[in-house]
């Protein structure tokens, strides 16, 4: 799909594949948030599924490549490229998102929702902006 649209492999991986693996978890988290008094289950599901996607998405290909080169008795060199920078940005933005959630709970007295629709959309836009910032960096 990325080749047909003229997207680079990196952009395809960061957006379309990430969206495809996270979208079902998003709906499950929404249902958990709607059916619970607190958003703990929804937040746990979101954080857990995204961490799992990152660790499996990086770990399984690395393990396969390492096993392949080990079977050929050749050294396996993994070039990190910009992986360190991406992980640092992911960590920083995750901390910011968790801080926002904690502020909503303890500072504003709410969970994921808000009193007015404008607050709900504003808060959703802020979290969406963090995601877009990650994609752009």
Question: Domain residue spans in the chain?
Answer: 1-78, 80-137
Q: How far apart are the first and last CA of the chain?
A: 22
User: What pLDDT was estimated at residue 115?
Assistant: 66
pLDDT tens over the chain, length 137 residues: 667 777 778 777 777 777 777 788 888 888 888 887 777 788 788 778 878 877 887 788 888 988 999 999 998 887 777 778 888 998 999 899 888 888 877 777 666 666 677 877 888 888 889 988 887 87
User: What pLDDT was estimated at residue 134?
Assistant: 85
Are the C-beta atoms of residues 75 and 69 closer than 8 Å to each other?
A: yes
What pTM did the predictor assign?
0.53
- CA angle 107/112/114 to nearest 5° reads 70
- Chain center to CA of 69: 30
Output the furthest CA–CA distance in the chain (Å, rounded). Answer: 63
């Amino acid at each position: 799909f990325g080749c047909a649209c003229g997207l680079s492999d990196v952009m395809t991986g960061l957006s379309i594949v990430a969206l495809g693996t996270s979208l079902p978890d998003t709906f499950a988290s929404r249902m958990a948030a709607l059916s619970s008094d607190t958003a703990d289950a929804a937040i746990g599901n979101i954080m857990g599924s995204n961490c799992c996607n990152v660790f499996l998405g990086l770990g399984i290909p690395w393990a396969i490549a390492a096993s392949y080169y080990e079977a050929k008795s050749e050294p396996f060199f993994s070039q990190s490229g910009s992986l360190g920078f991406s992980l640092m940005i992911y960590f920083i933005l995750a901390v910011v998102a968790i801080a926002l959630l904690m502020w909503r709970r303890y500072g504003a007295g709410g969970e994921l929702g808000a009193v007015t629709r404008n607050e709900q959309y504003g808060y959703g836009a802020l979290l969406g902006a963090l995601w877009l910032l990650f994609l752009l960096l």
